[in-house]
Amino acid sequence: MENGKRKLVFATNNQHKLEEARAILGDKFEVVSLSEIGCHDDIPETADTLEGNALIKARWIKERYGFDCFADDTGLMVEALDGAPGVYSARYAGEHCSFADNVNKMLREMAGKENRKAYFATVVALILNGETYTFEGKVDGEISVEPLGEGGFGYDPIFIAEETGRSFAEMSPEEKNAISHRGRAMRKLEDFLIAEN
Protein backbone atom coordinates (compact mmCIF):
# COMPACT_ATOMS: atom_id res chain seq x y z
CA MET A 1 0.00 0.00 0.00
CA GLU A 2 1.49 3.25 -1.14
CA ASN A 3 -0.08 6.60 -0.19
CA GLY A 4 -2.86 4.61 1.45
CA LYS A 5 -3.88 3.08 -1.86
CA ARG A 6 -4.09 -0.64 -2.39
CA LYS A 7 -1.77 -1.84 -5.14
CA LEU A 8 -3.30 -3.93 -7.89
CA VAL A 9 -1.48 -5.40 -10.86
CA PHE A 10 -3.31 -5.08 -14.18
CA ALA A 11 -2.04 -7.95 -16.33
CA THR A 12 -1.36 -5.83 -19.41
CA ASN A 13 1.36 -3.81 -21.08
CA ASN A 14 -1.15 -2.15 -23.38
CA GLN A 15 -0.70 1.54 -22.59
CA HIS A 16 -4.21 2.43 -23.80
CA LYS A 17 -5.86 -0.14 -21.54
CA LEU A 18 -3.68 0.95 -18.64
CA GLU A 19 -4.68 4.59 -19.07
CA GLU A 20 -8.36 3.61 -19.21
CA ALA A 21 -8.05 1.50 -16.06
CA ARG A 22 -6.17 4.23 -14.20
CA ALA A 23 -8.77 6.80 -15.25
CA ILE A 24 -11.51 4.63 -13.74
CA LEU A 25 -9.76 3.09 -10.70
CA GLY A 26 -6.93 5.56 -10.11
CA ASP A 27 -8.53 7.60 -7.34
CA LYS A 28 -8.74 4.68 -4.99
CA PHE A 29 -6.19 2.14 -6.20
CA GLU A 30 -2.64 2.15 -7.48
CA VAL A 31 -2.84 0.28 -10.79
CA VAL A 32 0.51 -1.11 -11.97
CA SER A 33 1.34 -2.76 -15.29
CA LEU A 34 3.22 -5.99 -15.96
CA SER A 35 6.44 -4.19 -16.88
CA GLU A 36 6.30 -2.35 -13.54
CA ILE A 37 6.50 -5.69 -11.71
CA GLY A 38 9.24 -6.90 -14.06
CA CYS A 39 6.98 -9.28 -15.99
CA HIS A 40 7.82 -9.48 -19.69
CA ASP A 41 6.28 -12.92 -20.23
CA ASP A 42 4.37 -13.65 -23.39
CA ILE A 43 1.28 -14.93 -21.60
CA PRO A 44 -0.62 -17.42 -23.77
CA GLU A 45 -4.23 -16.64 -24.55
CA THR A 46 -5.46 -20.06 -25.58
CA ALA A 47 -9.03 -20.12 -24.27
CA ASP A 48 -12.00 -19.90 -26.60
CA THR A 49 -13.90 -17.48 -24.36
CA LEU A 50 -13.10 -13.98 -23.11
CA GLU A 51 -13.54 -15.16 -19.52
CA GLY A 52 -11.13 -18.05 -20.12
CA ASN A 53 -8.41 -15.78 -21.48
CA ALA A 54 -8.82 -13.22 -18.69
CA LEU A 55 -8.53 -16.00 -16.09
CA ILE A 56 -5.39 -17.44 -17.76
CA LYS A 57 -3.68 -14.03 -17.55
CA ALA A 58 -4.72 -13.32 -13.95
CA ARG A 59 -3.71 -16.80 -12.75
CA TRP A 60 -0.37 -16.55 -14.56
CA ILE A 61 0.55 -13.40 -12.61
CA LYS A 62 -0.73 -14.70 -9.27
CA GLU A 63 1.08 -18.05 -9.61
CA ARG A 64 4.40 -16.68 -10.89
CA TYR A 65 4.62 -13.26 -9.24
CA GLY A 66 2.36 -13.58 -6.21
CA PHE A 67 0.42 -10.35 -6.70
CA ASP A 68 -3.31 -9.84 -6.38
CA CYS A 69 -4.21 -8.80 -9.88
CA PHE A 70 -6.82 -8.40 -12.54
CA ALA A 71 -6.75 -9.11 -16.26
CA ASP A 72 -9.16 -8.48 -19.05
CA ASP A 73 -10.00 -9.89 -22.42
CA THR A 74 -12.08 -8.01 -24.91
CA GLY A 75 -13.79 -9.05 -28.08
CA LEU A 76 -15.76 -7.46 -30.86
CA MET A 77 -18.67 -9.67 -31.89
CA VAL A 78 -20.13 -8.92 -35.32
CA GLU A 79 -23.52 -10.44 -36.08
CA ALA A 80 -23.02 -10.74 -39.86
CA LEU A 81 -19.70 -12.55 -39.26
CA ASP A 82 -21.27 -15.12 -36.90
CA GLY A 83 -19.79 -13.41 -33.86
CA ALA A 84 -16.28 -13.06 -35.29
CA PRO A 85 -13.65 -11.86 -34.56
CA GLY A 86 -14.61 -12.48 -30.89
CA VAL A 87 -11.66 -13.81 -28.86
CA TYR A 88 -9.44 -13.31 -31.92
CA SER A 89 -10.17 -9.57 -32.13
CA ALA A 90 -6.59 -8.48 -31.33
CA ARG A 91 -5.09 -10.92 -33.86
CA TYR A 92 -7.85 -10.71 -36.46
CA ALA A 93 -5.56 -9.74 -39.36
CA GLY A 94 -2.72 -12.05 -38.25
CA GLU A 95 -0.30 -12.65 -35.39
CA HIS A 96 1.65 -9.34 -35.41
CA CYS A 97 -0.95 -7.12 -37.05
CA SER A 98 -1.51 -3.44 -36.28
CA PHE A 99 -4.79 -1.81 -35.23
CA ALA A 100 -5.07 -0.45 -38.79
CA ASP A 101 -4.65 -3.96 -40.27
CA ASN A 102 -7.56 -5.21 -38.13
CA VAL A 103 -9.76 -2.24 -39.04
CA ASN A 104 -9.03 -2.68 -42.75
CA LYS A 105 -9.75 -6.39 -42.63
CA MET A 106 -13.05 -5.75 -40.83
CA LEU A 107 -14.10 -3.14 -43.40
CA ARG A 108 -13.27 -5.60 -46.21
CA GLU A 109 -15.24 -8.42 -44.55
CA MET A 110 -18.21 -6.12 -43.99
CA ALA A 111 -18.24 -4.59 -47.48
CA GLY A 112 -21.76 -4.66 -48.91
CA LYS A 113 -23.31 -6.22 -45.79
CA GLU A 114 -26.65 -4.72 -44.74
CA ASN A 115 -26.55 -6.01 -41.17
CA ARG A 116 -23.85 -3.96 -39.39
CA LYS A 117 -24.89 -4.92 -35.82
CA ALA A 118 -22.06 -5.64 -33.40
CA TYR A 119 -21.23 -5.49 -29.73
CA PHE A 120 -18.08 -5.15 -27.69
CA ALA A 121 -17.65 -7.23 -24.54
CA THR A 122 -14.96 -7.18 -21.89
CA VAL A 123 -14.51 -9.70 -19.11
CA VAL A 124 -12.30 -8.70 -16.19
CA ALA A 125 -10.96 -11.52 -14.00
CA LEU A 126 -9.82 -10.55 -10.52
CA ILE A 127 -7.77 -12.64 -8.11
CA LEU A 128 -7.97 -11.19 -4.62
CA ASN A 129 -7.02 -12.86 -1.35
CA GLY A 130 -7.02 -16.26 -3.04
CA GLU A 131 -10.52 -15.88 -4.51
CA THR A 132 -11.39 -15.44 -8.18
CA TYR A 133 -14.12 -13.13 -9.49
CA THR A 134 -15.23 -12.05 -12.94
CA PHE A 135 -17.03 -8.92 -14.16
CA GLU A 136 -18.49 -8.35 -17.61
CA GLY A 137 -19.24 -5.18 -19.53
CA LYS A 138 -20.99 -4.91 -22.87
CA VAL A 139 -21.93 -2.19 -25.33
CA ASP A 140 -24.11 -2.51 -28.41
CA GLY A 141 -23.47 -0.74 -31.66
CA GLU A 142 -22.66 -1.24 -35.29
CA ILE A 143 -19.73 -1.28 -37.69
CA SER A 144 -19.37 1.90 -39.73
CA VAL A 145 -18.58 1.83 -43.45
CA GLU A 146 -15.42 3.90 -42.94
CA PRO A 147 -13.16 4.98 -40.06
CA LEU A 148 -14.52 7.96 -38.09
CA GLY A 149 -12.63 10.10 -35.58
CA GLU A 150 -9.05 10.40 -34.43
CA GLY A 151 -9.10 9.07 -30.87
CA GLY A 152 -9.09 5.69 -29.18
CA PHE A 153 -7.38 2.53 -30.40
CA GLY A 154 -8.18 -0.83 -31.90
CA TYR A 155 -11.58 -0.92 -33.58
CA ASP A 156 -12.67 2.42 -32.05
CA PRO A 157 -12.80 4.28 -35.42
CA ILE A 158 -15.33 1.82 -36.88
CA PHE A 159 -17.47 0.97 -33.85
CA ILE A 160 -20.48 3.27 -33.54
CA ALA A 161 -22.00 3.02 -30.08
CA GLU A 162 -25.79 2.71 -30.09
CA GLU A 163 -26.18 5.13 -27.18
CA THR A 164 -24.34 8.04 -28.81
CA GLY A 165 -24.52 7.40 -32.56
CA ARG A 166 -20.81 8.22 -32.68
CA SER A 167 -17.73 6.06 -33.04
CA PHE A 168 -15.57 5.49 -29.96
CA ALA A 169 -12.78 7.33 -31.81
CA GLU A 170 -15.01 10.44 -32.01
CA MET A 171 -15.46 10.55 -28.22
CA SER A 172 -13.23 11.97 -25.53
CA PRO A 173 -11.63 9.36 -23.22
CA GLU A 174 -14.14 10.39 -20.51
CA GLU A 175 -17.12 9.95 -22.84
CA LYS A 176 -15.86 6.59 -24.02
CA ASN A 177 -15.13 5.32 -20.49
CA ALA A 178 -18.64 6.31 -19.43
CA ILE A 179 -20.30 3.85 -21.82
CA SER A 180 -17.63 1.46 -23.08
CA HIS A 181 -17.53 -2.28 -22.45
CA ARG A 182 -14.23 -1.99 -20.57
CA GLY A 183 -15.49 1.03 -18.64
CA ARG A 184 -18.56 -0.91 -17.52
CA ALA A 185 -16.58 -4.01 -16.50
CA MET A 186 -14.03 -1.82 -14.67
CA ARG A 187 -16.74 0.02 -12.75
CA LYS A 188 -18.19 -3.32 -11.60
CA LEU A 189 -14.65 -4.23 -10.51
CA GLU A 190 -14.31 -0.87 -8.74
CA ASP A 191 -17.64 -1.27 -6.90
CA PHE A 192 -16.61 -4.74 -5.77
CA LEU A 193 -13.16 -3.60 -4.60
CA ILE A 194 -14.61 -0.68 -2.68
CA ALA A 195 -17.10 -2.99 -0.96
CA GLU A 196 -14.26 -5.41 -0.12
CA ASN A 197 -11.87 -2.75 1.17
CA atoms within 13 A on the CB side of 149: 22
Greatest C-alpha distance within the chain: 55
Active-site residue, from 41, 42, 48, 73: 73
Q: Are 59 and 127 contacting, i.e. CB atoms less than 8 angstroms apart?
A: yes
Burial 18-38 (b: 16+ CB within 10 A, else e): bebbbbbbeeebbbbbbeebe
Q: With contact defined as beta carbons under 8 Å apart, do 118 and 77 qualify?
A: yes
Element (H, E) at 188: helix 181-196
Cα–Cα distance measured from residue 114 to residue 184, given in angstroms and rounded to the nearest whole number: 29
82 is catalytic: no
The DSSP symbol for 138 reads: E
Q: Which of the residues are catalytic?
A: 73
